[in-house]
Chains A and B, each alone.
Chain A
């Protein structure tokens, strides 16, 4: 008999999803079936299963585009076959925390664009919000459909060395990844059907249905079946696969800017049989590109007149305009305050302590302790614009220090959290790799969160960056029934 593939696995000093914080090699109870099944595979069997899964992704075109020499290269999103497991009790708390959070974020956005009570009462400094790169003064006083700004939110969660879940950031503009979550599940069900069944994993397949329902909820035309469309930047966008996937699953049209036309405050799509009025646009295009008449004049991807129709209430957008204020990592630091202010509750989910460089005291501390901190640009995503102190060179630190001094508003710093690790199939066998979790929160008539989310894994040894653009991969996430 083969020795178990996990037998020589080392958790080192990290919290391990499968083995917990104990130093012994006994997996946590809810991982037992995985430990037995996957641990019992020979390297060769595992290799085979992996090859099969990869070619299945490639065949189905489940790819994303890496930008380089002007022409995007299609890659499969690297996928690891060892699933992450979350027991029901743990998930309950995460789910409640996420619900609480999206409620507070929405109330905050509504407030900020309607007088700003939270600002005038001094809970959050007004200049923080006003100077945010994604604050949209055009939205002041405008009532968005159903008072919801963020219909789809991807809040990234990490776990610290004690296994505590922490919110790392919120993505309230166009979070992507839901299609990989659904495709990963399809592959896993085919690869380990009996283990899947035995462990009683909660299903995620309703996501497109929930999404469509929350879109239809926004339709301004009550007497008519809502016409919803998905607006994509186009075929060269890195998430294009996801766009077609979701549109197909929802049974709605996927459109590019040139497929739409705005006439006298209404938006229509151009069909072979003439123009058809559109009610709701699930847009996967940033604010700046939506309407050349309103925002970036150079935009070739948007629709001239779209904002006019939106502000007249004749077409709904999901997500709303100006939600990027809460993606700002400076605003992020105040979310616990928002929860207390609007909901009168204590935050259920903790978040990472954050130093704001525009505060003199914080800045001083950050500059003195650069090598023990992670410095992030407030408005960049995808793992760009980041300094990980203990892995940086003197030169990099000096460069960041000068950038911080130049524009302190644009930088924040956080302690380096040793993200939890998860056993992952690597060239030298099964090793621990750092992971995070991106759940997708849908806010329509109700708040719906499909159990789990996309577990992203930093495939490079010791790397803390899980983004796909930086060599990250993903795992299926199994939330178990109680």
Chain B
């Protein structure tokens, strides 16, 4: 398949997954914030959400002055829900021939909804509905990807985008717990699990009081929960080998090597040894490895070796496209 097409498919599904993750985060944050305000703890939950996403500065420079609205609707920040859906659709437009009509219609409908003038009013009057719509869309999108298109190379690049994004989200959520000034409270732990849609799955494995150790163990090492880091990385590993045709356990490019080593760590170490090394440091290290995986996928399958990236050209290209 065309390299550019692989790239577009990858980013399309990555942005959809990101929109879902960010939406869950906002939804959870809303609840937690409410709870804390009622109990007057004086903690600013929105501010910590912004720092977890590393966008404190972006928020300060944005024309939107409400933190929640910024995360959802900023046109300038590249990971707001609005931008994610716009980018997903932009990528989808470039590869419409690869998508089923159903996928396109769902994505396009959500795009039209998010860009309609009445949107913010609708959100204010019923935020629950809004969250549900975004999350439901993402799930429908995944279902349709699995049920209505060939499970060939293009589908594998889509899945790669999804799992890389998911691993990034999960590790970020977990990392916020390690960055708190004080011990995470029960509400913090519940919030983290809910952000990963993992609360009931967690309960089945661990009953009784919530602890950071157990939550971290579950979100990092669960073999079968589809949003755990281990699950995501093992999918990434399998997909990469299906794409290259090289048997698992070997590697033919940097992305495979890095994924293999991350997977080995998740398969064969455990929560105790991670706690020993420092939870934050370990998560940080894993996260960096996964960012490199994304970069190497791009270098292996999309770029030609002699290619020079010139970002300044983009507006010029757009102008010429329009002249045609």
A residues neighboring B (CB under 8 Å): 58-61, 65, 67, 70, 72, 174, 233-238, 240, 244-245, 247-248, 253-256, 258-259, 261, 269-273, 284-286, 289, 298-301
Q: Does more than half of chain A's interface fall in helix, strand or loop, or is it mixed?
A: loop
Cβ–Cβ < 8 Å partners of B322 in chain A: 65, 67, 72, 236-238
Q: In the complex, which of the residues B105, B243, B319 contacts A272, with contact meaning CB atoms closer than 8 Å?
A: B243
Contact assessment for B317 and A272 in the assembled complex, using a CB-CB cutoff below 8 Å: no
Q: Are B320 and A289 in contact (CB under 8 A)?
A: yes
Closest A residue by C-beta to B307 = A258
10 A-B contact pairs sorted by A residue (CB < 8 Å)? A70-B319, A234-B317, A236-B318, A238-B322, A244-B96, A254-B97, A256-B4, A272-B1, A272-B2, A286-B324
User: B90 contacts which chain A residues (CB < 8 A)?
Assistant: 235
Could you tell me if A233 and B324 are in contact, using CB atoms closer than 8 angstroms?
yes
In the complex formed, the residue of B with least CB distance to A251 is: B97
Would you list which residues of chain B between 2 and 19 have a CB under 8 Å from chain A? 2-6
Q: Give Cα distance in the complex from A286 to B321, angstroms.
A: 11
Residue of B93, B97, B109, B319 most packed against chain A (CB within 10 A): B97
Assess whether B48 is interfacial by the CB under 8 Å rule. Answer: no
Interface centre among B90, B108, B109, B322 (most CB of A within 10 A): B322
B96 touches A284 (CB 8 A): no
**Could you tell me if A258 and B321 are in contact, using CB atoms closer than 8 angstroms?**
no
Give me 6 other A-B pairs in contact (C-beta within 8 A), A233-B320, A248-B97, A285-B324 excluded. Answer: A65-B322, A244-B97, A261-B304, A284-B324, A289-B324, A301-B324
Q: For the complex, give the distance between the alpha carbons of A204 and B1 in Å.
A: 30
Most chain B CB within 10 A, of A60, A256, A272, is at: A272
A59 — which chain B residues lie within 8 A by C-beta?
105, 108-109, 112
Min CB–CB distance A475 → chain B (angstroms):
24
In the assembled complex, the CB of B78 is this many whole angstroms from the nearest CB of chain A, namely 17
Chain A residues closer than 8 Å to B94, beta-carbon distance: 235, 244
Contact B1 A60 (CB under 8 A): no
Q: Counting CB contacts under 8 A, is B63 at the interface?
A: no
For B306-324 the 0/1 string (1 means CB < 8 A from A) is 0000000100111111101
> Which residues of B have CB within 8 Å of A285?
324
State whether A299 and B1 are in contact (beta carbons under 8 Å apart), knowing that A59-B105, A235-B93 are contacts in the complex: no
Question: Given known contacts A59-B108, A235-B93, A254-B97, is B324 in contact with A271 (CB within 8 Å)?
Answer: no
Q: CB-nearest residue of chain A relative to B4?
A: A259
Q: Is the CB of B301 within 8 A of A300?
A: no
**From A269, which residue of chain B is reached at the shortest CB distance?**
B2
Closest A-chain residue to B104, C-beta based? A61
B153: chain A residues within 8 A (beta carbon): 272
Give Cα A233 to B301, complex, Å: 23
Known: A61-B93, A300-B313, A300-B316. A270 touches B321 (CB 8 A): no
Given the contacts A61-B108, A244-B96, A248-B96, A237 and B321 also touching, CB distance less than 8 Å: yes
| B106 nearest in chain A by CB position | A59
Q: How far is the CA of A269 from the CA of B5 in the complex (A)?
A: 12
Q: Which of B93-135 contact A (CB under 8 A)?
A: 93-94, 96-97, 101, 104-105, 108-109, 112
Residue of B nearest to A261 (CB): B304
Q: Which residues of B contact A (CB under 8 A)?
A: 1-6, 90, 93-94, 96-97, 101, 104-105, 108-109, 112, 153, 243, 301, 304, 313, 316-322, 324
With CB as the reference atom, state the residue of chain A lying closest to B301.
A272
Picked from A61, A237, A271, the residue with its CB within 8 Å of the CB of B1 is A271
Complex interface: chain B residues within 8 A of A67 (CB): 322
User: Are B324 and A258 within 8 A (Cβ)?
Assistant: no
A70 to B314, CA, bound (A): 13
For B91, give the chain A residue with the smallest CB separation: A235
* A300→B2 contact, CB < 8 A: no
Closest to B304 in A: A270
> Are B321 and A234 within 8 A (Cβ)?
yes
Which A-B residue pairs are the 8 nearest by beta carbons?
A248-B97, A236-B321, A233-B324, A234-B321, A233-B321, A244-B96, A237-B321, A272-B301
Query: What CA separation (Å) do A255 and B1 show in the bound complex?
Result: 11
Task: Point out which of B3, B6, B313 has the most chain A C-beta atoms below 10 A from its C-beta.
Answer: B3
Chain A residue with Cβ nearest B94: A235
- Which of B2, B317, B318 is in CB contact (< 8 Å) with A271? B2
Q: Is the CB of B97 within 8 A of A259?
A: no
Chain A residue, CB-CB nearest to B92: A61
Residues of A within 8 A of B318 (CB): 234, 236
B317 engages A301 (CB within 8 Å):
yes
Closest to B317 in A: A300
Q: How far, in Å, is B15 (CB) from chain A's closest CB?
A: 15
Q: How many angstroms between the C-alpha atoms of A17 and B324 in the bound complex?
A: 33
Q: Which of chain B's residues have a CB closer than 8 A to the CB of A259?
A: 2-4
Say yes or no: A270 contacts B93, CB within 8 Å.
no
Task: Write out the residue numbers on chain B whose beta carbons fall within 8 Å of the beta carbon of A236.
Answer: 318, 321-322
Contact residues in A for B3 (Cβ distance below 8 Å): 259, 270-272
Also in contact, A240 and B93, with CB within 8 A (given A65-B322, A301-B324): yes
> What's the minimum C-beta distance from B180 to chain A, rounded to whole angstroms?
42
Q: Are B2 and A255 in contact, with the CB atoms below 8 A?
A: yes
Q: How far is B97's CA from A253's CA once the two chains are assembled, in angstroms?
A: 8
Separation of A137 and B227 alpha carbons in the complex (Å)? 62
Residues in chain B near residue A72, CB distance under 8 A: 322
User: A232 to B265, alpha carbons, bound, how many Å?
Assistant: 46
**With the chains together, A1 CA to B261 CA distance in Å?**
78
Residue contact A247 to B97, C-beta cutoff 8 Å: yes
**Contact partners of A272 in chain B: CB under 8 A:** 1-3, 6, 153, 243, 301
Chain A nearest CB from B27 CB (Å) reads 27
Partner of A58, one of B4, B6, B112, B301: B112
Which residues of chain A come closer than 8 Å to B108, judged between CB atoms? 58-61
B109, closest chain A residue (CB): A59
> CA A15 – CA B75 in complex, angstroms?
51
| A276 nearest CB neighbor, chain B only | B2
